[in-house]
A and B are shown apart, each in its own frame.
Chain A
């Protein structure tokens, strides 16, 4: 169980401090897929980087902490400082753009062999990799190819393979299907769900697409301006959204077969809307397992 305690992450840019995550307190349960929704600039990617432990200048932890509830190889509890050692072991990452993450001049198999702490018998690792890749729906000879020879969908499957090879307890997927065509997106999402079911680990999925959340996640949280505005079981959030921002996001989705006028809420919010959505950092449980944040008390102060 991952616990975020009043987490604040900021950026130091050109003499100014810019807050990206502004006070997030949350408990992420084990063994489920949690979606993080929100639009550009809400802080979701920064939050993921912080949980993953990829905090480097100009980004820094400006408040709060993260309890991972995990123990590292050396038996000591995992914290933000030593989480790097756990990368690809207890915690791994599926990025948005696989092309930027796979070494373009080495064959795919090298990426599997190159992990620190792998079994020193490379042949054995390779065989396990081939076998595993097969179960992800890829032909085993993928391993002998270079990244540019594969399609975007195949590469993303490889990324999922790399991320899950060591059966980590936490997988973070940051917009894993945004760059993919819709048909391939469905395949990758189904794969992700299957993998999660089999391994029983926790997956955090970041996406701006509410439909993706509906299909894949058990629980979801919506962020706005660095804070969480709503958090609950996905079914509950979609069936009965509590916060006006959530309602607006859901309203902005046209659906096939539905002829109603959409996006009315978004146009109404206009210039004043931003203020209306700002919240306090603390969440209140308004229904079982369904939390919402109260409106910001000092809305005028954040000018």
Chain B
């Protein structure tokens, strides 16, 4: 430990003395154990599920490709299921599709929620009141019942991404509210006035001044939405209301349940996707809370 005499120790306690001359120093502050583990899990599952499919010997969603109910072996890493599909490859595609859906929904929700929330919170006045009325209406609409009803009406005749779209439409409102209250608190800070007197217009202030302060929340929010989207889709799939031919984490479980995997002793079929789902969620959760912790500790020092 180096001993330093600083003539401003109170300031150091409140604000960490930035001894490096560049802005963020190195990014070491960012990484803590939690975040590292989370990112590793996501990297493995993400890269694995996006790269591996190019090596798949066959389209895993096609039924009766192989003999059914084969045990774990070197050819079929997780065996095959009652439909004659290779479980391992099905799982890989499933993770990929679920992740893709999650990311698409995540991006959609984040973009919409931030545009709406930031502008409402910052502009205020009548504009804010009208927008928030809109937002609050969407918040109160319960997502799952709507999806179930829609799913029951459409019954698998919808494209996989339509489900994603519906989740976006009903999922953006909650985050919008959070972002708006952030923008509200930032609006009052002095540097916003400084920017105004420097000639900045509203758009400029939103993106250059306010956005950096909310970026930490956006990162965490995005990951949470991904989690939420995958979860919702899986829930629908398990009930059979999504396009269950498409491999997703939920649809595996759907088929496994429908073919009574538990009772026929095909534990791998059922357990594999559950383990994968839990691991994926753990990865997302750890990453999200890891970022939260990193940002909070940085804020706490600064």
Contact = CB atoms under 8 A, between A and B. Distances in A.
- Direct contact, A vs B (beta carbon within 8 Å): yes
A22 B3 CA distance: 12
B8 A40 contact: yes
Contact of B5 (A13, A46, A302): A302
B296 interface: no
Contacts of B301: 14
Interface string A194-225: 00000000000000000000000000000001
A41 B11 contact: yes
Interface in B1-49: 1-13, 16
A43 B5 CA distance: 12
A43 B11 CA distance: 11
- Interface size bucket, B side? 10 to 19
A175 B232 CA distance: 56
Given A17-B3, A302-B5, A41 B13 contact: no
Contacts of B10: 20, 40-41, 45-46
A18 interface: yes
A123 interface: no
A18 B1 CA distance: 10
A18 B16 contact: no
Interface in A19-63: 19-20, 22, 40-43, 45-46, 58
A226 B3 CA distance: 14
B1 A19 contact: no
A196 to B, nearest CB: 27
B5 A15 contact: no
B32 to A, nearest CB: 14
A225 B7 contact: yes
A41 B1 contact: no
Contact of B7 (A13, A16, A274): A274
A15 B1 contact: yes
Contacts of B16: 13-14
A17 B8 contact: no
Interface string A67-96: 000000000000000000000000000000
B1 A13 contact: no
A15 B16 CA distance: 12
In this complex, the member of B2, B3, B9, B10 whose beta carbon has the largest number of chain A beta carbons within 10 angstroms is B9
A238 interface: no
A43 to B, nearest CB: 7
A22 B5 contact: yes
Contacts of A225: 5, 7
Given A14-B16, A14-B301, A19 B9 contact: yes
A46 B9 contact: yes
Contact of A17 (B4, B7, B11, B13): B4
A18 to B, nearest CB: 5
A188 to B, nearest CB: 24
- Please give me the 10 A-B residue pairs with the lowest Cβ-Cβ distance, nearest first: A41-B8, A20-B9, A17-B3, A225-B7, A18-B9, A19-B5, A302-B5, A41-B7, A41-B10, A18-B6
Given A22-B5, A46-B10, 12 more contacts: A11-B9, A13-B13, A13-B16, A16-B2, A16-B3, A18-B6, A19-B3, A19-B9, A41-B6, A41-B10, A46-B9, A225-B5
